[in-house]
Structure 1
Amino acid sequence: MTGSGAGRPARPATDQWTDVPGMMIPAEVGKGTPSYGALFVATFTAEILAKKDDWGGITQFDILFGGQPGHPQSDNHRTFAAMPGEWRSVTVVRAFHFDDDVVRRDATVKVQVKRQNGVDFGIQNFLLKVERYPVTTGGDTVL
């Protein structure tokens, strides 16, 4: 499962967490889906530009799975700065495990960005790749 935003710059307007346009991949777990549970691994890569006045800016990226933050979680993992006027490549990898259950649940994967202190921010040439590994019980894949 992949989503791409190549060539489309996105510019969040607020200092709040904002969905990156086009970086959402619908998914579900439970009865009637490819598996009752799953381990999802998401990789997001992009070029960013963040600046404030003559200094580099700070932005944060995170990946949500069914509205819940992925792992590992740390403010240090998701903060990036670039020198003024310089596009920089960033990659974020997150994982999330949905337990084996027949109840159908949302597992939609989406990327969010948050700029810090009103920095000018841009993102381009971005890609989200999601891998889904079915949860197994007793050595058998649950279908």
Structure 2
Amino acid sequence: MKLELLEVEILYYPYLHFCFSLALPRFRRTKQLKVFCCISLVDGKEAIIKEIPSWEWVEVAAEQVLPVKVSSKQALSKARTYILYPLIKKEKVFNPPLPVLDSQELCYRPLYLFFVRSSNCARFGLLVDALTNRYQTLDIFNYSDY
């Protein structure tokens, strides 16, 4: 099957990265932990990450940035809840310590949107994460421009 590339757009997906400190009581001493969490500002999805990555500063047009739908206050609340959940459910900590916010950082992850036409004239989109190369197909037959 032959594919024809119609257009490529780059989009930027907003995230808030959080770094928390936790003091977990362990028998006779306290264990200090650093926990990193990432919250999508588009749909509010949470993820635990290993560390806050280093980013490069780039100026982009406002049209390339996806609109923020989750406030930073909501994101902070979601992050705290998300990192405490495993402690309460898996570790059976009945009185979990309050996570202390060390830092938060707003970043935008680059995504490529490819508009493609196949040899049988079917049109579709391909959304590719520029950092991980993960992708998903998008049904774009409703877009008359492509």
Q: Do they fold alike, i.e. is TM over 0.5?
A: no
TM class by shorter-chain length?
A: 0.3 to 0.5
Higher relative contact order (CA 8 A, sep 6+): 1
Identify, as 1 or 2, the structure richer in strand: 1
* Structure with the greater alpha carbon radius of gyration: 2
TM-score (normalised: structure 2):
0.33
Identify, as 1 or 2, the structure richer in helix: 2
TM-score (normalised: structure 1):
0.34
